[in-house]
Amino acid sequence: MLLTGAEIVVQCLQRENVKYVFGYPGGAVLHIYDAFFQQDEIRHVLVRHEQAAVHAADGYARASGEVGVALVTSGPGATNAVTGIATAYCDSIPVVILSGQVPTAMIGQDAFQEVDTVGITRPCVKHNFLVKDVVELADTLKKAFHIARTGRPGPVLVDIPKDVSAAKCEFRYPETVSMRSYNPVVKGHQGQIRKAIKALREAERPILYAGGGVILADAADELTALARRLGAPVTTTLMALGAYPASDRQFLGMPGMHGTYEANLALHHADVVLSIGARFDDRVIGSPEHFASEPRTIIHIDIDPSSIGKRVKADLPIVGDVRHVLADFLRILDEEGVTAPSEALAPWWERIEQWRARRCLAYEQPAEGPIKPQYVIETLWKVTKGDAIVTSDVGQHQMWAAQYYRFDHPRRWLNSGGLGTMGVGLPYAMGARFARPDAPVVCVTGEASIQMCIQELSTCKQFRLPLKIVNLNNGYLGMVRQWQQLFHGGRYSESYMDSLPDFAALARAYGHVGIRVDRPADLQPALERAFSEHANELVFLDVRIDPRENVYPMIQGGKGLTEMILSADSL
Amino acid sequence: MRHLISVLIENESGALSRVAGLFSARGYNIESLTVAPTEDPSLSRMTIITTGSDDVIEQITKHLNKLIETVKVVDLSEAPHLERELMLLKVRATGKDREEMKRMADIFRARIVDVTDTTYVIELTGNQGKLDAFIQAIDPALILETVRSGVCGIGRGERVLRV
């Protein structure tokens, strides 16, 4: 049967079991939108800005583990999508972006709404395609989904000129993909794995350092089983919160710039570091030279060979899918009869408990106020029983959410760790709600970040998304203000935001529930009402927090893991 | 350290810019880059001359491999190999310089492939050093144009880079 390119797009998405497409129409994608209109298997979610389309697709992917799909038009549609694409790329999130393009005959003529989308997005996609002939469309889309979800996942963009979406050809969706140039390694090298196990069993001070790869590979169960078997402490990066239960004794918290005292010191003083799907990012280890000052064995498991040896030298590199590799670890430990943790780690745990006894995340909430942001997150954790999907934007509120909401399960914590994109929080929450319509979804944000995608309150109304937005409002670009206070002599250059809207009233203007919270005593009742009385509505809680509160512990950029500032008192 | 890296890559539009973009985005050096289709027209072969520490070269080869269209990557400079570059040189050839230029071309086993009353075009093939030496050996005032192809490389003996 002959189908148009637009109909082929719809058919391909259906074959890939796509349930939602987040998008925004325009001239170059009119044929595709027309084809969407004539089917009802795939639901289109009309966002209010293309950046949010990609963020929502990205949030959907993070929450569900499936490939997220966004659809934008040519020119400004595509350029607006770029921030979303780069955000997904930095965190290795599988997203397929379909962009319209001017007709092939007009490419290169500076046509209306023409940009070189493939050229602009090249450095921030896993791969991209320009489809010049409708006969290539189905194969290309099949490849796009395959590339996005396999290996180290990432965004793949398919640019479709308008005449290609109008042209007809015989439709046949390939069952399988075979690419001689793309065959990601899945299984780790068995010899290396055995060496790694030997090193771990002989270690006096081992640590498991897990990154976003554990979430992406759905390897949380394997990680937990391995940690319990070895009895070793676990630290998970910002991207991996929830990959190991935060309520467990072996969990030390997050390492890095705003990591816990015990996680940073344990990572620094460990004699064997098992890095699992993590990449020794600058926000995690600070200076590689300082990190390398302690002699130790580094075992580095990653599906992407270029992540290994990039920042620190790995003694035992293992290339492979984290879940497969960890399953091999467990199988070999079975074979070797290792069923219980070694008693030999007792002295290591004694040291760790001393570090933990510093209670680096302790804070005080004065009864009369001001409201402390840490208290907001802890109360949120209590009210949601620690079981919500929490999205965040970027800044102080992101770090407080990461530190104080104790995630016990994977895919509950969605944030832009790599690119650090303000504005992701609300669209991530939208995507998460579509992925998990049964789950409570909370967006923890700040008054600056939320304004970067606030137009999506309109989308939330249209699709009746009962999200809960917790706005930690301190009137400042808080993280910028913190750095200016600590490292720029208190010169608060452009970090104070004047003339903020009345957020509660703004939320009401969009048709939602808006509540302003000024006093500590009002916080828990307001949160409880949001999840009971207003369970089926979007509730915007504008929480006025202490404008001078800083995020601690903190390691200054470029310093080492042992150089932590623990509180304002230690400055 | 100077390295000569050979890449087999799908012969698709955009493949070259992915490679060039990778080098510029990550701050790696490209001294020369040549690319042309192989006997299989769906495949291109690139030869890249680059410099960097061992760590940098390791990252370069890993990132080249990571490109979706890359089929194979080999650092040819790790083992015996041949390097060749083609140079076309247009020189002033009048009076006594005409005979001198002919003699120099003979000494370097170059060929004169275009002749006018006043100019020669000289074709010379060899490794980079030989081409440099020829330029050194003749009077710079006589050089009108220099065109170099960049280096092509191939492993010696049974060492074969193919799909």
Q: Residue A228 CB: number of other CB atoms within 10 A?
A: 15
Closest CA in chain B for residue A148? B68
Relative to beta strand B81-92, strand A539-544 is unpaired
> Are B25 and A123 inside 8 Å of each other by CB?
yes
Q: Residue B78 CB: number of other CB atoms within 10 A?
A: 13
Q: pLDDT-based confidence at B15, cuts 50/70/90?
A: very high
Q: pLDDT-based confidence at A571, cuts 50/70/90?
A: low
User: What residue type is A136 in one-letter code?
Assistant: E
Both structure tokens of B96: 């006594």
Q: Which of A118, A130, A305 sits opposite B62 (nearest CB)?
A: A305
CA A475: distance to chain centroid?
A: 25
Interface A-B, measured as beta-carbon pairs within 8 A, has a size of 36
Q: Give the span between the Cα atoms of A385 and A9, in whole angstroms.
A: 42
pLDDT tens-place string over residues A82-135: 999 999 999 999 999 999 999 999 999 999 999 999 999 999 999 999 999 999
**Is residue A178 within 8 angstroms of chain B, CB to CB?**
no
A256 & A383 share domain: no
A447 & A529 share domain: yes
Give the CB-side neighbour count of residue A230, counting CA atoms within 13 A.
32
A521 & A387 share domain: yes
A472 & A533 share domain: yes
Domain that holds residue B24: 2-79
Q: Give the span between the Cα atoms of B97 and A311, in whole angstroms.
A: 57
Examine residue B161 and state whether it is found in any structural domain, yes or no: no
> Are A305 and B66 inside 8 Å of each other by CB?
yes
| pLDDT at residue A110, as a whole number | 96
pLDDT of A525 over the 80 cut: yes
Told to judge if A479 belongs to the known catalytic residues of this protein, a careful annotator would answer: yes
Examine residue A177 and state whether it is found in any structural domain, yes or no: no
Give the CB-side neighbour count of residue A59, counting CA atoms within 13 A.
33
Q: pLDDT-based confidence at A412, cuts 50/70/90?
A: very high
Q: pLDDT-based confidence at A496, cuts 50/70/90?
A: very high
| pLDDT at residue A61, as a whole number | 98
pLDDT of A256 over the 70 cut: yes
A165 & A200 share domain: no
B89 & B139 share domain: yes
> Are B68 and A180 inside 8 Å of each other by CB?
no
Q: Which CATH number characterizes residue B36's domain? A: 3.30.70.260
Residue A194, burial from CB neighbour count under 10 angstroms (0-12, 13-18, 19+): middle
Examine residue B162 and state whether it is found in any structural domain, yes or no: no
Examine residue A105 and state whether it is found in any structural domain, yes or no: yes
Examine residue A571 and state whether it is found in any structural domain, yes or no: no
Q: What is the mean pLDDT of residues B39-50?
A: 97
A342 & A400 share domain: no
Q: Which of B56, B79, B102 is the last residue of a domain?
A: B79
Q: Which of A326, A356, A386 is the last residue of a domain?
A: A356
Q: Which of A113, A138, A170 is the last residue of a domain?
A: A170
A470 & A416 share domain: yes
Q: Which CATH number characterizes residue A464's domain? A: 3.40.50.970
Q: What is the mean pLDDT of residues A50-67?
A: 98
Residues of chain B with C-beta less than 8 angstroms from the C-beta of A304: 66
What contacts A108, CB < 8 A, 6 or more positions away? Answer: none
| pLDDT at residue B43, as a whole number | 97
- Rounded to a whole number, what is the distance in Å from the CA of A387 to chain B's nearest CA? 37
> Dihedral (C-alpha) A215, A301, A394, A120: value to the nearest 10 degrees?
-100
> Are A122 and B59 inside 8 Å of each other by CB?
no
A383 & A352 share domain: no
**Is residue B59 within 8 angstroms of chain A, CB to CB?**
yes
Q: Residue A362: in which H helix or E strand, if any?
A: none
**Is residue B10 within 8 angstroms of chain A, CB to CB?**
yes
pLDDT tens-place string over residues A318-356: 999 999 999 999 999 999 998 888 889 999 999 999 999
CB B125 within 8 A of CB B84: yes
CA nearest neighbour of A404 among A436, A360, A339 = A360
B67 & B88 share domain: no
Q: Residue B94: in which H helix or E strand, if any?
A: none
Instruction: Tell me the pLDDT of chain A averaged across its residues.
Output: 97
Domain that holds residue A542: 373-551
pLDDT tens-place string over residues A194-221: 999 999 999 999 999 999 999 999 999 9
> Are B66 and A304 inside 8 Å of each other by CB?
yes
CA nearest neighbour of A443 among A471, A408, A465 = A471
B93 & B66 share domain: no
Residues of chain B with C-beta less than 8 angstroms from the C-beta of A130: 13-14
Q: Give the span between the Cα atoms of A128 and A149, in whole angstroms.
A: 14
B37 & B87 share domain: no
Secondary structure (DSSP) of A150-167: SSS--EEEEEEEHHHHH-
Q: pLDDT-based confidence at A558, cuts 50/70/90?
A: confident
Structure ipTM over 0.95, yes or no:
no
pLDDT of B72 over the 90 cut: yes
pLDDT tens-place string over residues B114-132: 999 999 999 999 999 999 9
Q: What is the mean pLDDT of residues A255-271?
A: 96
Q: What is the mean pLDDT of residues A457-474?
A: 98
Examine residue B160 and state whether it is found in any structural domain, yes or no: no
B72 & B110 share domain: no
From the list A41, A112, A382, A528, the catalytic residue is A112
Examine residue A559 and state whether it is found in any structural domain, yes or no: no
B69 & B87 share domain: no
Q: Which of B20, B45, B79 is the last residue of a domain?
A: B79
Tell me whether the omega of the peptide bond preceding residue A94 falls within 30 degrees of 0, making it cis. Answer: no
User: What residue type is A337 in one-letter code?
Assistant: G
> Are B71 and A181 inside 8 Å of each other by CB?
yes
CA nearest neighbour of A314 among B14, B144, B62, B138 = B62
Number of domains in chain A: 3
Secondary structure (DSSP) of A307-330: GTTSSS--SEEEES-HHHHHHHHH
pLDDT of A233 over the 90 cut: yes
Tell me the three-class secondary structure of A375-419, residue by residue.
HHHHHHHHHCCCCCEEEECCCHHHHHHHHHCCCCCCCCEECCCCC
A138 & A208 share domain: no
B110 & B144 share domain: yes
- Rounded to a whole number, what is the distance in Å from the CA of A437 to chain B's nearest CA? 35
B86 & B150 share domain: yes
Examine residue B117 and state whether it is found in any structural domain, yes or no: yes
| pLDDT at residue A568, as a whole number | 82
| pLDDT at residue B107, as a whole number | 97
CA A231: distance to chain centroid?
A: 28
| C-alpha angle A260-A264-A267 in degrees, rounded to nearest 5 | 140
pLDDT tens-place string over residues A84-95: 999 999 999 999
Residue A186, burial from CB neighbour count under 10 angstroms (0-12, 13-18, 19+): middle
Number of domains in chain B: 2
| pLDDT at residue A294, as a whole number | 85
CB B8 within 8 A of CB B65: no
| Measured CA distances, A480 to A287, A396, A519, A550 (Å) | 21, 9, 25, 11
A248 & A343 share domain: yes
CA nearest neighbour of A131 among A169, A90, A94 = A169
What contacts B1, CB < 8 A, 6 or more positions away? Answer: B51, B52, B53, B54, B57
B88 & B129 share domain: yes
A440 & A471 share domain: yes
CA A343: distance to chain centroid?
A: 36
CA A366: distance to chain centroid?
A: 33
A158 & A279 share domain: no
